[in-house]
């Protein structure tokens, strides 16, 4: 028997904030990325503090947070070389919100 699902795509009800914070290594123009469960993505955060904490975790001098729109973050993620395939909202690093860009 067929069943109607309330939300046929997992995570569909979750949305990214309009403005995000990403981290960039200014001397090399490289961005902070993260791998979760085999998926690689550009790391992003809803708060600057989250981005700065992630930058400190990377422990690479010259890392800075940058506020961007969701669309700008998507474009940065799309411009990253493989294996980056997504934009990852890492407010909860154990359960990130993943938006695939390719």
The confidence band for 72, taking pLDDT boundaries of 50, 70 and 90, is very high
> Is the model's pLDDT at 95 over the cut of 90?
yes
The confidence band for 4, taking pLDDT boundaries of 50, 70 and 90, is very low
The confidence band for 9, taking pLDDT boundaries of 50, 70 and 90, is very low
With contact defined as beta carbons under 8 Å apart, do 23 and 65 qualify? yes
With contact defined as beta carbons under 8 Å apart, do 41 and 22 qualify? no
> Is the model's pLDDT at 5 over the cut of 60?
no
Backbone angles phi, psi at 80, to 5 degrees: -75, 150
Q: Please return the burial class of 3, using the count of CB atoms within 10 Å of its CB with bins 0-12, 13-18 and 19+.
A: exposed
> Is the model's pLDDT at 3 over the cut of 90?
no
CA distance linking residue 40 with residue 56, whole number of Å: 20
Question: Cα–Cα distances in Å, from 26 out to 16, 31, 79, 101?
Answer: 25, 9, 17, 24
**Mean pLDDT (whole number) for 44-59:** 94
> Is the model's pLDDT at 31 over the cut of 50?
yes
pLDDT digits (tens, 9 = 90+) for 16-29: 999 999 999 999 99
């Amino acid at each position: 028997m067929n069943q109607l699902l309330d939300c046929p795509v997992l995570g569909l009800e979750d949305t990214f904030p309009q403005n995000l914070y990403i981290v960039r290594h200014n001397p090399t123009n490289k961005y902070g990325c993260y791998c979760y469960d085999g998926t690689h993505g550009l790391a992003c955060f809803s708060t600057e503090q989250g981005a700065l904490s992630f930058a400190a975790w990377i422990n690479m001098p010259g890392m800075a947070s940058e506020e961007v729109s969701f669309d700008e973050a998507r474009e940065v993620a799309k411009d990253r070389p493989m294996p980056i395939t997504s934009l990852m909202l890492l407010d909860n690093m154990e359960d990130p919100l993943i938006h695939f860009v390719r």
